[in-house]
Amino acid sequence: MTTIVLLLFTALNAAAVPAIDTSNVLAIAESTSSPYFAALTADGSGLTGDLHDNDDDNMWLSAPDRGTASYNPNPGTVTGVTWLRFQFDKVYKLGDMWIWNCNETAWVARGFKDVTIEYSTTGGSSPSEWHTLGEYELAQASGAATIPHTDEIHFDGV
């Protein structure tokens, strides 16, 4: 199995109750296939209410052919085939993170599957600054015209 890394400073992706304003979330990716930039994961693009569409223009895509290489954003974090990091304007207590996995109809298999989620209040390079929330197997999206979120990650107030 392949490990994919999702890194969170603190706070969450698009939706929560109350949601963290998307203008306070900076999404950074290990790589990008232009123009499918990381920002599209955290800017509300493709969302109508809590449903996301299946237009690839509203989704992030890593560069192709990641092969067997392993990456991490900085020392102290686990490595994986690729990673996404969500950086916030300040430290938040986190509730839930909702994930809409890749929903491009012909390419739902491109979504994240085996992921490790780590968080930090400092984002530094020392392993002691990072905490592992857990390892997760994310659901594959259906590719339907609109979908509810595919996964909920519970931070439970960390």
- Write down the least CB distance from residue 52 to Ca ion, Å: 6
Contact 112, 138 (CB under 8 A): yes
- Write down the least CB distance from residue 132 to Ca ion, Å: 26
Please report whether residue 111 would count as binding Ca ion according to CB under 5 A: no
List strand residue ranges (DSSP E) for the chain, in order.
4-8, 25-29, 47-48, 51-53, 83-88, 96-99, 114-119, 131-137, 146-147, 151-154
- Write down the least CB distance from residue 72 to Ca ion, Å: 24
Distance CA 126, CA 146 (A): 41
Closer Cβ to Ca ion, 25 or 40, answer by number: 40
Tokens of 156: 């439970």
Please report whether residue 123 would count as binding Ca ion according to CB under 5 A: no
Interface mask toward Ca ion for 25-64; x: CB under 5 A? ---------------x----xx-----------x------
Please report whether residue 13 would count as binding Ca ion according to CB under 5 A: no
Contact 139, 150 (CB under 8 A): yes
The residue ranges that bind Ca ion (CB under 5 A) are: 40, 45-46, 58
